[in-house]
Amino acid sequence: MKFNTELVSPQDRSKIKNHNSACVWFIGLSGSGKTTLASSVEYELKKMGIHTYLLDGDEIRRGLNKDLGFSREDREENIRRIAGVTKLFTNAGVVVFAAFISSFKRDREFARPLYDQNKFIEVYVDCSLKDCEERDVKGLYKKARAG
């Protein structure tokens, strides 16, 4: 049996939910507060009846991308998979928050064309290196400074 995936469009799903979907991609250094900020925005939208979902880098690395390391190629693959997942969420009519370091512009530019105009919003969480190091719950900056 062949399925017709075009019977219900992303626009149909948005109409059912009474709001548009989008991907809000939070970028910044480790410990900058990307997930904290995304979570706060998600909470406010929930109070307005907006269907949301938050994808966090650590969460994705523990599951979907647990087979990836931190080489340039693996980081590119990490972002490619995340972009695919966020696109599925937006097609479902959800406002998805993606909180990832995403340090390479070229990787983020891979995700942007997956979306119609105004459906991909990039938010840079500007936080000083000093503050990120103070918030370093994973010990990444300490490890980096130790070589």
Cα distance between residue 3 and residue 17, in whole Å: 23
The answer for residues whose C-beta is within 8 angstroms of residue 130's C-beta and 6 or more apart is: none
Q: What is the dihedral of CA 52, 56, 59, 63, to 10 degrees?
A: 80
Catalytic residue, chosen from 21, 30, 32, 102, is 102
| Residue 21 annotated among the catalytic residues of the structure | no
Q: Where are the alpha helices (DSSP H) in 21-128?
A: 34-47, 57-62, 72-91, 105-111
What is the DSSP track for 75-97?
HHHHHHHHHHHHHHHHHTT-EEE
Angle between helices 10-17 and 72-91 (to 10 degrees): 60
* Joined tokens for residue 124: 């840079």
Catalytic residue set: 102
